[in-house]
Structure 1
Amino acid sequence: MGKNKGARVIITLECGCRNTTNSDQRKKGIMRYTTCKNKRNTPNRLEINKFCSYCNKHEVFKEIK
Structure 2
Amino acid sequence: MRINIQLQCTECKRRNYATMKNKKNTSERLELNKYCPWDRKHTAHKEVK
Q: TM-score by structure 1 length?
A: 0.71
1:36: which partner in 2?
20
Structure 2 gaps, min length 5? none
Q: Which amino acid aligns with 1:13?
A: L
The sequence identity of aligned pairs, in percent, is 45
In the alignment, the residues of structure 1 paired with residue 42 and residue 31 of structure 2 have an alpha-carbon distance, to the nearest angstrom, of 13
SS of the aligned residue for 1:18 comes to coil
C-alpha separation in 1, matches of 2:19 and 2:41:
20
- What is the deviation of 1:18? 1.7
Moved over 3 A (4+): none
Q: Which residue of 2 is the match for residue 8 of structure 1? A: 2
Max radius of gyration: which structure? 1
Partner of 1:18: 12
What is the letter of the counterpart of residue 6 of structure 2?
A: T
How many residues get paired? Answer: 49
Answer 1 or 2: which has greater strand percent: 2
Amino acid corresponding to residue 63 of structure 1 in structure 2 = E
What is the DSSP-based 3-state SS (H/G/I as helix, E as strand, rest coil) of the residue aligned with 2:12?
Answer: helix
1:56: which partner in 2? 40
Q: CA deviation at 1:64?
A: 0.3
Over the residues paired in the alignment, what is the CA RMSD in angstroms?
1.1
